[in-house]
Structure 1
Amino acid sequence: MSDDTSPEAILRKRLYWHSRRGMWELDLLLIPFLQQRYDSLSAEDQLAFQQLIEEEDQDLFAWLMRREWPGNETLRRIVKMIVEHAESTDNSAYRTL
């Protein structure tokens, strides 16, 4: 992370630290998605990611492990994007989850 103090850099740092959940499985999905895909998302999808990381860990775990899907369509869309990103990258650790 850089020393940039622009609003965008501050938001990015906040998102990074909120994506670090302390659960290896969640970190493995959220952080790479943030680093590799977030900047290319539409403004709507960026807001959805911001909303998603405010959710409880147990909900995030169930959603990202595909045990259930969020009832909110916006959250469901971003969860599917994160799961698809993990499946499409060379993330062998994800395949063992």
Structure 2
Amino acid sequence: MFTDQRLRRLKWACRRGMLELDVLFLPFVEEAFSQLDDHQQEVFERLLTCDDPDLFAWVMGHQQCDDPELAAMVSTIVNRVKV
């Protein structure tokens, strides 16, 4: 379970160096993060430790993430935006 403090840190981590990532991650946390199970929340938190160029390539579909859990989370985020 995420405490308020941990959630605030997570939102801060969503502020990236690329606007394209900012507009994906922060709304995702604010609108969909609470609907994830505990494991998925941990995976999302781990995703935010990745480098921006990698995240951008995965989100845009230019590359496939080698980690299946991270790839699934990227897919969840991208599919949410497409809806």
TM-score by length of 2: 0.94
Whether 1:56 and 2:51 are equivalent positions in the alignment is yes
Structure number, greater radius of gyration: 1
- Match of 2:3, SS? helix
Whether 1:10 and 2:20 are equivalent positions in the alignment is no
For 1:66, the aligned partner's letter is G
Structure 2 residue ranges without an equivalent (≥5): none
Aligned length: 82
Q: After the TM superposition, which segments of 4 or more aligned residues of structure 1 sit over 3 Å from their partners?
A: none
Instruction: Report sequence identity in percent.
Output: 34
Q: CA deviation at 1:86?
A: 0.9
Tell me the C-alpha RMSD between the 2 structures. Answer: 1.0
Provide the residue aligned with 1:29 in structure 2.
Answer: 24
